[in-house]
Amino acid sequence: MTVRFTVNDDPVELNVPGMRRLLDVLREDLGLIGTKEGCGEGECGACTVLLDGAVVDSCLVPVGQVDGHAVRTVEGLARRRPSAERPAMPDDLNVLQMAFLETGGAQCGICTPGMLMAGEAFLASGRPATDHAIREAIAGNLCRCTGYTKIIEAIALAAARRDAGATQ
Amino acid sequence: MIEPPLASPDDLAAAYRLLAEELYRPLAGGTDVLVALSGRSGPPPDRFLDLGGLDELRGITLDGDGLVFGALTTYTEIRRSPVCRDLLPAFVDAAATIGAAQIQNRGTLGGNIANASPAGDMLPVLLASDATIVAGSARGERSIPAASFWTGYRQTALARDEIVIRIRVPLVADRQVRFRKIGTRRAQAISKVVLALSWVAAAPERPWQSVRLGLGSVAERPIRAIQTEAFLEGRLPTSDTAATASVRVAAEIEPINDVRSTADYRRAVTGRVLHRLIREAGGW
Amino acid sequence: MTLRTPSPPAIDRAPLRREGPAKLTGTALYTDDLVFPGAWYGQTIRSTEARARLLDVELDPAFDWSRVVVVTAADIPGPNIVNSIQDDQPILVADEIRHHAEPVALVAAPDRTLLQEAVAHVTLRTSPLQPVLDPLASGQVFAHYEIVAGDIERGFAEASLVIQGEYRVGHQEQLYIENNAMIAVPRADGGVAVHGSLQCPYYVHKALRRSLLLSDAQAQVIQAETGGGFGGKEEYPSILALHAALLARACGRPVRMIYDRHEDIAATTKRHPAIVTYRSGVSADGRLVAQDIEIVMDAGAYCTLSPVVLSRGTLHAGGPYACPNVRIRSRAVATNTPPNGAFRGFGAPQTEFAAEMQVNRIAEALSVSPRELRRRWLYRPGDTTPTGQVLRDSVAAEEVLDRAAEAAEFERVRERTAAARAGRDGGGDGGHVAHGIGLALAWHGAGFTGSGEVHLASVASVELTGDGRIVILTGSTEMGQGTKTIFPQLVAEALGVPMASVEFAPQDTALVPDSGPTVASRTAMVVGGLMIGACRRLRAVVEERSGGPFVDTYRGDARDHGATRIDEHFEPYPGVEFDDTTYRGDAYPAFGWASAIAEVDVDLDTGEVAVRSVVAADDVGRVIHPVLAEGQVEGGTLQAVGYATIEEIKLHDGRYLNDRLATYLIPTALDAPRIETILVEAPFGGVPHGAKGIGELPMDVGAPAVVAAIHDATGVWIHDLPASPERILAAIHARDGAAAAVAIDPGSLR
């Protein structure tokens, strides 16, 4: 079937089986390999993307249901997109990515793209950045490296900077 | 991954026509059925029917003395619904225990019902709330009480051309519903035991009427503990009541050992959690 | 709870993670992200029995096999052996299936649909054999050790208190979030290049060379970005690389073998289950006078690294306590279950759990604070270990204990929990959630056991290239722990140059030397030490030639003299000697020390445990990068909390029942405690920078601390891991003598 949607604000039109997983469409059909597969059954959250601003496991979303909607992936976060010629630099990162880099929120990095999307959705929700609220926001994203401590710190730091920016 | 064909009807009538013609696996939020595409647990369904475009199946509305949930109502929508929080807070409690944000944003009440897992988190709440499940097909609509909807292990009362279209929950004056899920961890966990208890009492010191006890993960399907309900009927939430009820419910259920827990644990915990819910209600 | 206003750490002390921006923008390339045009997809046909005779691999004649390739044991050019300690594990089963999910045949196809069709047309014909599933009934011993110090009989004769216990710990899955993955690409010279998720490129290199009969150059191993290892990608990738390479050889094209989670859990290694029987004797004046310990580890069907895992477990089994009379006997035995292997802690978490349980139970029996008892017994400089090693310096048991206990206010919280427990026992309403606090202390040998480092003969190199770049050349890998950040830090400091001017060569066996495996918390200590040595020599060479400081002259030196490469070879640490045959001597060049204090809430109705906080004090020798070091402690602590509470593999007839992420559960952010890390520095004099390693320390203490806290809350000891709600409730029932199927809180029955 033909599906049309946007990925990181770019329009996409594809002729694919409607039951193809959004994850496979992103990684294989669109080459957006930033989104990772960890379990294929909605348990680990490594494949988390935003669908109309809400976190979803892209391994559980058939692309047929994405028709007409907006998808955001980790590739859409940086202020400046890296390329093969020009690898990512700290200056390219958005507020949340930079907070992860500074606090040590990314270790092996495989959960990081999904974790960032959960963090972005949390920041966008405007909820106060309490410890419990952040933990709940990332409870669908498993990390085996960090004990979550520095991920929570990173999201709190990004929220504090966002709030400071908002009051300026 | 196996990618069977997907039909995407624009309205309910078109969906009914397709269902009348061929066997489809209905697809709502996809959180249960997409796992089947790996082929690991047997061949996946031949074709899917996307209900996602059917706006008739959305929304939470107050309808006289009942609250009506469209089958596509997501857990996130339940959690955020002010009317649901006011009138059926146990639904909000239960929805909050399902998966995590990713699953709550996609998973639907109708999907939870039709998937018919014995561990389905919302199902004991529906049983305790006397919910009615409305099934639709080209042949028309019919209402099925929750108590007779799940007929066996992953079996429902739905005919092969029927889908769940909405859920009606009566709003009963002075009814209290309490929910508790015991899982292995605090998010992303399938339950070891789910328990929903309801009763009607005009005041805390009045005997309990219309007692319902819905249980998940203790049988091949979500069940009501009829004998324990009968024992609790007309009683006050005293410590004697709690002690006897917890022994009764443990004797009434036949849980199994599986990969998530043991029969002994499920039996003991069902009794103890029931005990605690009665104690909390009694305020002693 | 509101968070303290976070502030980022200072960059000069904690430089930003090197590969961080790539990981944070989704541009870091993990194995499954690599594109090789024309690559085929490979899959493994696995056994479905614990033990059987393989009669035939039947290919359905109705299927057109010309479109795919199939590989069986007969197609392996060299020995059908996965190179490891013993030559017992086949790459593909030739005659006897020894465990469930054992690889028997391989299939590759140009697309996934055809691959699935082909796999469906392969049938394994087998005839069943009786499996051995109980390690205590196994007659096949892969390794055994005995350590004796003093006279155990005399020790117990002197004891006025003897505490005995049997402790059982189960499998634990590493559960890196990136599954095992490998892509093999045929080389023009008849060899093969493999790109994969792995910890030890040279292990894989050796395995490929041996079984595919390749030269050094023909076998090329390139580490892709690696999404976590924790030991799970130490030895297993050798098998996967051999499989992918065999298929690539058969079809003449690149072959991708990317495990899904189910296959990864079902087929790859786990932490060894163990049964530890422990008897401790305490004299009337409160001295620890005897320890008699027997350890049985379940190795699974093949030897893998079990002798080394068992060795570390054996050497640590006494815990960090001086005891004059010790006997430790251990064996690793075969069962018809999937082989177990390396996992953070490497045998020590199993035995130190038992050691700490004993100490906590003795403290209870003596009515002494668990902290006070440890203060009496713990190792101090000058003490001798059961192997006869005299602990001369870098001994920080007391410091980590005190720092953790003070930060956690251990004694004060313990008084409160004791009062609450007394209230419940007295029939008062102590509430249905009980709070508890627990303590553990551990030691962890830094680097390889015994003479391991001497055998490894690691090399690390620094090159000043002809065009004036400074390049680190090492086989040590980055898998999240920070190698790519701390090595440039160390090199920059040793050369006196800015960190930004230090490059890190890719982990490609065609480019970098064998620095030994990236395991055993040895990278920062051992390879970091070599790296500094190489830098000092490079600096001396350049400064002698130029007569000026390195930072000002190295570019000119490169122009004038061309490239200068320094290969630094491992030299034994002076005064460190170990006899592998008698198990006497210096088991490790130094030890790291760790303490953890956990606070838990236990729901007395359901047995559910919430670990609220862990204070972890870890002696790492010298902190190189505080943020990365804390990250290691925090991550290891949560893995230990998972081990203590929820992580469990359930088996039936030798098959893992919960081989999915929906059924093998690890803690989420909502389950994770608040973790406070205290980094203690007792430097190791054998390396220039004093570092001792960090990754494994928190794994040794988390579980016993949590179980002690559960005891503090409930009054029951859980001897088996995980301390699941099922076990806790059963223990409470057993203690309370509840006869009925449902035991109701006694207070409420009145």
State the pLDDT at residue C746: 35
Structure confidence at residue A166 as a pLDDT band (50, 70, 90): low
Do B185 and C670 make contact, defined as CB atoms within 8 angstroms? yes
**8-state DSSP, C172:** B
Do A140 and B188 make contact, defined as CB atoms within 8 angstroms? yes
State the pLDDT at residue C427: 56
* Distance between CA atoms of residues C726 and C719, nearest Å: 13
Identify the H or E element spanning C643: helix C626-645
Q: Is A85 on the interface with B (CB under 8 A)?
A: no
Residue of C668, C724, C742 to mutate for B, most B C-beta atoms under 10 A: C742
Do C112 and B1 make contact, defined as CB atoms within 8 angstroms? yes
State the pLDDT at residue C307: 97
Q: What is the pLDDT of residues A6-41, one digit of tens each?
A: 999 999 999 999 999 999 999 999 999 999 999 999
* Distance between CA atoms of residues C107 and C72, nearest Å: 9
State the pLDDT at residue A134: 98
Q: Which amino acid is at C530?
A: L
Do B50 and A60 make contact, defined as CB atoms within 8 angstroms? no
* Distance between CA atoms of residues C226 and C28, nearest Å: 10
Identify the H or E element spanning C20: helix C20-24
In 3D space, the residue among A156, A26, B177, B228 whose CA is nearest the CA of residue C742 turns out to be B228
Torsion of CA B169, B171, B175, B179, to 10 degrees: 30
Residue, of C1 and A163, whose pLDDT is higher: A163
Q: What number is the average pLDDT over the span B64-76?
A: 97
Mean pLDDT over each residue of chain C, to the nearest integer? 95
Do A45 and B99 make contact, defined as CB atoms within 8 angstroms? no
State the pLDDT at residue C3: 53
The answer on pLDDT for A76 being more than 50 is yes
Q: Is A38 on the interface with B (CB under 8 A)?
A: no
Nearest CA of chain B to the CA of A10: how many Å? 23
* Distance between CA atoms of residues B166 and B181, nearest Å: 24
Spell out the alpha helix ranges (H) of C213-289: 236-251, 261-267
The answer on pLDDT for B179 being more than 50 is yes
How many A-C residue pairs are in contact by the CB < 8 A criterion?
211
In 3D space, the residue among C260, C250, C267 whose CA is nearest the CA of residue C109 turns out to be C250
Identify the H or E element spanning C198: none
State the pLDDT at residue C422: 87
Q: Is A54 on the interface with B (CB under 8 A)?
A: yes
Side-chain-side CA neighbours of C429 within 13 Å: the count stands at: 6
Q: Which of B34, B100, B101 sits opposite A60 (nearest CB)?
A: B34
- DSSP assignment of chain A, as one string? -EEEEEETTEEEEEE--TTSBHHHIIIIIS--TTS--SSSSSSS-TTEEEETTEEEEGGG-BGGGGTT-EEE-GGGTSSS---SSS---GGG--HHHHHHHHHT--SS-SSHHHHHHHHHHHHHHT----HHHHHHHTTTS--SSSTTHHHHHHHHHHHHHHHHHHH-
**Number of neighbouring beta carbons within 10 Å of residue C492:** 19
In sequence order, the 6+-apart residues with CB closer than 8 A to the CB of A26 are A7, A32, A35, A49, A58, A71, A73
Quote the distance between the C-alpha of residue A32 and its chain's center: 12
SS3 assignment, position C202 = helix
In 3D space, the residue among B101, B100, B104, B84 whose CA is nearest the CA of residue B92 turns out to be B84
Q: Which of A87, A97, A135 sits opposite C670 (nearest CB)?
A: A135
Q: Is A93 on the interface with B (CB under 8 A)?
A: no
* Distance between CA atoms of residues C347 and C358, nearest Å: 18
The predicted model scores a pTM of 0.97
Q: Which of B185, B261, B268 sits opposite C743 (nearest CB)?
A: B268
* Distance between CA atoms of residues C468 and B270, nearest Å: 72
State the pLDDT at residue C2: 44
Largest CA distance in chain B: 59
On chain B, the residues whose CB falls within 8 A of the CB of C101 are none
State the pLDDT at residue C740: 40
Retrieve residue B158's tokens: 């739905």
State the pLDDT at residue A24: 98
Do C741 and B264 make contact, defined as CB atoms within 8 angstroms? yes
Nearest CA of chain A to the CA of B160: how many Å? 21
Residue of chain B whose alpha carbon sits nearest to that of A114:
B102
Retrieve residue C383's tokens: 């003490």
* Distance between CA atoms of residues B55 and B51, nearest Å: 9
Handedness of CA C242, C246, C252, C255 (dihedral sign): negative
Q: What number is the average pLDDT over the span A139-152?
A: 98
Low-confidence ranges of chain C (pLDDT < 70): 1-8, 10-11, 426-431, 738-750
Q: Which of A39, A77, A82 sits opposite C661 (nearest CB)?
A: A39
* Distance between CA atoms of residues B190 and B168, nearest Å: 25
Retrieve residue A159's tokens: 């929220």
Do B259 and C668 make contact, defined as CB atoms within 8 angstroms? no
State the pLDDT at residue C1: 44
Strand partners, C128: C52
Do B269 and C748 make contact, defined as CB atoms within 8 angstroms? no
Angle of CA points C659, C662, C663, to nearest 5°: 55
Do C665 and B184 make contact, defined as CB atoms within 8 angstroms? yes
**8-state DSSP, C526:** I
ipTM above threshold 0.90 = yes
Residue for token pair 């056994």: C47
* Distance between CA atoms of residues A165 and B117, nearest Å: 47
State the pLDDT at residue C747: 35
